[in-house]
Amino acid sequence: MKRVWILFVLLTFGCSPPIVNTDRETQGETLKEGSTSEEKTTTGEATQEQSPSDDGIDAGITESMPEKKTEVIAETESVQETSIETFTEPTPETKPEAHPDATPEIKPEAHPDATPEMKPETGPKTCQERLNQSNSDLSAERKKYLSCAANTECTSVGIGTECRGACPVPVNTVGKPKVQALVTKINQTYCKDYRQDNCPYATPKCVNGKPVCHQKKCELYDCRTRGKKARDIVEDLRKQNLTCRADTDCVLFWSGTKCAGACQKAVNKTGEPIVKASITDINRGICETYQSDQCPYATPRCISAKAKCSNKVCVMVTKAP
């Protein structure tokens, strides 16, 4: 009976190891589920598959850890790549939008009468072109400064350049420095190295002249030209005033000036004041300094005469001695 009881006890408690193993497996599953829950909490991933190993808890934990590290490293690299891409991506330039009430910018339109902007032209190249250009520029500049009211407002200026020699020309006192500045500019530009380029150069023979104001314009006359100019002016005016109907329409006047003496000549009464006014102007202008400039002066010997109307023209008739 005792043996039977012992056998019963052995048989009964001999089956307990499977139960213990079952408990262990249950505990392993519990621990495994706890570990999986922790992994879910840490990584946010889905529950890992249960290892088919019979090693229990140790096997489950050992197999699950490498997968967890791999997932964490993969997530870290993904985060780094996302961070780098976000940093390197250029921000698009945003243009400020126009305010709906803002006044639109209006560009000024070209005036129809405005002078178009001219581009600088290429300078003259050949010797003749350079000479012509210098002559043209100096002539245009000098013509701006010829007006005068008296001889004292007139002077002369040299216009010789590196392209050519030249005699002095008349100009008023205001324009003289302007012309001289232009000569300097010409010599520094298209007349520079003119003679070194084997271009022909010449200087004319000049006659000394006197700057005078004649008919409100500066002129430069030598002695001979001044005397001839005075005679021509008086004679031209006299010829324009010779018509008459009777002898009483005609008179005599002295036609001499400070440039030269002259005898009486006939003119009608209408033209007499005109001719006399011209002589006064000549004596104050081209003949004012004629004699002091050492110009030759002469007076002819005159005979008695009278004015008469002949064929409706005033003439001078000499009296018999």
- pLDDT tens-digit series, residues 117-174: 434 445 678 999 999 999 999 999 999 999 999 999 999 999 999 999 999 999 999 9
**Residue 207: predicted pLDDT:** 81
H-state helical runs in 89-170: 127-142
**pLDDT confidence of residue 278:** 94
The pair of three-digit structure tokens given for residue 71, joined into one six-digit string: 């997932």
The residue type at 19 = I
pLDDT at 78 exceeding the cut of 50: no
Residue 9 has pLDDT above 80, yes or no: no
Q: List, for residues 225-236, the tens digit of each pLDDT value.
A: 999 999 999 999
Residue 242 has pLDDT above 50, yes or no: yes
- Does 74 have pLDDT greater than 50? no
**Joined tokens for residue 229:** 């100019």
Beta bridge pairs of residue 217: 147, 214
DSSP state at residue 260: -
Residue 203: Cβ within 10 Å count = 10
Per-domain residue ranges of the chain: 127-220, 222-318
DSSP string covering 212-259:
EEETTEEEEE-HHHHHHHHHHHHHHHHHTS-B-SSGGGEEEEE---SS
264: left (phi over 0), alpha (psi -120 to 50) or beta: beta
Res 214 pLDDT > 60: yes
SS3 4: helix
In sequence order, which ranges of the chain are alpha helices (DSSP H)? Answer: 2-14, 16-43, 57-88, 127-142, 176-188, 223-239, 272-284
Which of the four pLDDT bands, split at 50, 70 and 90, describes residue 20? very low
Q: Which of 264, 258, 250, 272 is nearest to 301 (CA)?
A: 264
**Residue-level pLDDT at 160:** 94
pLDDT beyond 90 at 115: no
- The pLDDT mean for the chain works out to 75
Burial 98-128 (b: 16+ CB within 10 A, else e): eeeeeeeeeeeeeeeeeeeeeeeeeebeebe
Greater confidence (219 vs 2) lies with 219
Q: How confident is the model at residue 24 (pLDDT cuts 50, 70, 90)?
A: very low
Q: Give the pLDDT confidence score for residue 53 in this predicted structure.
A: 41
pLDDT of residue 105: 57
pLDDT value of residue 319: 72
